[in-house]
C-alpha cells in the first residue's frame, strides 16, 4: 500500500509501502524481494519472530541482501505506519556485478580504473568519492554488501547525481574481486599511510584497482595482502591522516594527471 506526504491508509496484518524509498511491513518486503527490487538493506527489529518473519529472514539470506537488527525506536522514527518490525531501504540505483564488469572493461578499454571502498560508512564521504570518480573518469566503484555507506537518496544528493552515472558494484567477497582483477591484468593499489611507495611513483597508466579504506581502521589486512602496491600520501603536519574522500581525490587526480 502506498503512503503519500499527506495521508496514508493501512491494512491490518499487511503493512504499508511508502514513497520515500522505504518499504515496510512483512508481506510487502517479502514481495519486494521476490520481485527483485533493488534493496540497499533490510532493517529488522531486535527479537523479531513469527512465521512470516522466518520466511523473510530466509529470503534475505537466499538473496544475499544486507540486513541489520535494530531497536524498535529506529523503525518508529523511520515510519509512523504499521512496520511490523521490518523496513527495507530501496536503492536508487541498479547495482552491477564486478565479476562480470572487470573482464568486460579489460576487453573494451586500455586502462580501466576501479575504486574499491573498504568499510567506508560515512554517506558524505561515499558521495564525495563517487562524485570525484565521475569527474576523473573512473569506470566503477566497488563496495562490500556489509559495512558500507547506505546507497540512498542522501548519497545521491551528496554525490551531486554522480551515483546515477557511475556503475556501483556491491559484492559479498572483496577478496574474490581483487583476485579476479589481478588475474585479468589489473594492478591493485592500496592507499595506506603505512605504504612504502609515494603515490606519484605508482605507474597509474596501467589498468588499476585502487583500494581506499575507512579513516578509523584503514584497509582490511586481508585486502592489504592482496595488493601489488601500497602507496602513501606525504603528510607534513601533526595530523597523520586525511579525510578519506580527500585522499581518494588526490589519488584519482594523480591517475588522471599521468594518463593525460
CA neighbor of 117 nearest in space, from 152, 88, 81, 142: 142
Determine how many CB atoms are found less than 10 A away from the CB of residue 251: 25
The number of folded domains in the chain is 2
Distance of alpha carbon 246 from its chain centroid, rounded? Answer: 18
* Same domain assignment for residues 117 and 53: no
Residue-range definition of the domain harbouring residue 246: 98-259
For the chain, give the percent of residues with pLDDT over 70: 92
SS3 labels along 192-210: CCCCCEEHHHCCCCCCEEE
* Same domain assignment for residues 121 and 37: no
209 forms beta bridges with 114, 188
Mutual angle of helices 244-259 and 123-136, in 10-degree steps = 10
Task: Please measure the distance between the N-terminal and C-terminal CA atoms of the chain and give it in whole angstroms.
Answer: 52
Q: Specify the higher pLDDT residue, 81 or 173.
A: 173
* Same domain assignment for residues 229 and 181: yes
CATH number at residue 53: 3.30.1330.30
Joined grid coordinates for residue 192? 595506506
DSSP assigned state of 68: E
Q: How far apart (Å, rounded) are the C-alpha atoms in residues 208 and 102?
A: 11
Kindly state the average pLDDT of the residues 187-205: 96
Give the pLDDT of residue 21.
81
Residue range 112-135, pLDDT digits in tens: 999 999 999 999 999 999 999 999
CA neighbor of 2 nearest in space, from 21, 16, 13: 16
Cell 541489520: give the residue.
68
CATH number at residue 111: 3.40.1280.10
Element (H, E) at 74: helix 72-78
* Same domain assignment for residues 145 and 72: no
For the chain, give the percent of residues with pLDDT over 90: 74
Q: What is the mean pLDDT of the chain?
A: 89
Residue range 207-234, pLDDT digits in tens: 999 999 988 889 999 999 999 999 999 9
* Same domain assignment for residues 152 and 54: no
* Same domain assignment for residues 52 and 129: no
Give the pLDDT of residue 10.
33
Q: How far apart (Å, rounded) are the C-alpha atoms in residues 12 and 101?
A: 44
Distance of alpha carbon 148 from its chain centroid, rounded? Answer: 5
Give the pLDDT of residue 114.
98
Ordered strands of the 197-198 beta sheet = 168-171, 140-144, 113-118, 208-213, 187-191, 229-232, 197-198
Q: Report the helix count and the strand count for the chain, using DSSP H and E.
A: 9, 13
Mutual angle of helices 26-34 and 51-63, in 10-degree steps = 30
218 forms beta bridges with 214
CA neighbor of 98 nearest in space, from 192, 179, 37: 179
* Same domain assignment for residues 243 and 177: yes
* Same domain assignment for residues 102 and 86: no
Distance of alpha carbon 109 from its chain centroid, rounded? Answer: 24
Q: Which residues neighbour 108 within 8 Å (Cβ) at sequence distance 6 or greater?
A: none
Distance of alpha carbon 66 from its chain centroid, rounded? Answer: 11
Amino acid at each position: 500500500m502506498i503512503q503519500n506526504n499527506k495521508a496514508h491508509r493501512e491494512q491490518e496484518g499487511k503493512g504499508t509501502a511508502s514513497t520515500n524509498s522505504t518499504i515496510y511491513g512483512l508481506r510487502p518486503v517479502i514481495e519486494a524481494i521476490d520481485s527483485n527490487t533493488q534493496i540497499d538493506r533490510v532493517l529488522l527489529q531486535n527479537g523479531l519472530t513469527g512465521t512470516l518473519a522466518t520466511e523473510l529472514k530466509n529470503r534475505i539470506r537466499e538473496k544475499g541482501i544486507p540486513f541489520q537488527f535494530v531497536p524498535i525506536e529506529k523503525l518508529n522514527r523511520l515510519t509512523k505506519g504499521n512496520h511490523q518490525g521490518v523496513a527495507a531501504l530501496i536503492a536508487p540505483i541498479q547495482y552491477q556485478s564486478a565479476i562480470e564488469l572487470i573482464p568486460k572493461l579489460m576487453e573494451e578499454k586500455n586502462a580501466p580504473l576501479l575504486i574499491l571502498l573498504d568499510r567506508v560508512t560515512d554517506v558524505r564521504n561515499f558521495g564525495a568519492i563517487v562524485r570525484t570518480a565521475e569527474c576523473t573518469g573512473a569506470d566503477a566503484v566497488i563496495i562490500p554488501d556489509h559495512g558500507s555507506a547506505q546507497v540512498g537518496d542522501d548519497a545521491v544528493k551528496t554525490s551531486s547525481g554522480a551515483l546515477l552515472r557511475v556503475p556501483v558494484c556491491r559484492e559479498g567477497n572483496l577478496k574474490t574481486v581483487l583476485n579476479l582483477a589481478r588475474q585479468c591484468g589489473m594492478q591493485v593499489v592500496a592507499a595506506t599511510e603505512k605504504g612504502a611507495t609515494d603515490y606519484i611513483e605508482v605507474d597509474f597508466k596501467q589498468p588499476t584497482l585502487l583500494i581506499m579504506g575507512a579513516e578509523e581502521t584503514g584497509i582490511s589486512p586481508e585486502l592489504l595482502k592482496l595488493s601489488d602496491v601500497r602507496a602513501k600520501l606525504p603528510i607534513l603536519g601533526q595530523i597523520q591522516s586525511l579525510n578519506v574522500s580527500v585522499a581518494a581525490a588526490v589519488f584519482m587526480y594523480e591517475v588522471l594527471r599521468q594518463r593525460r
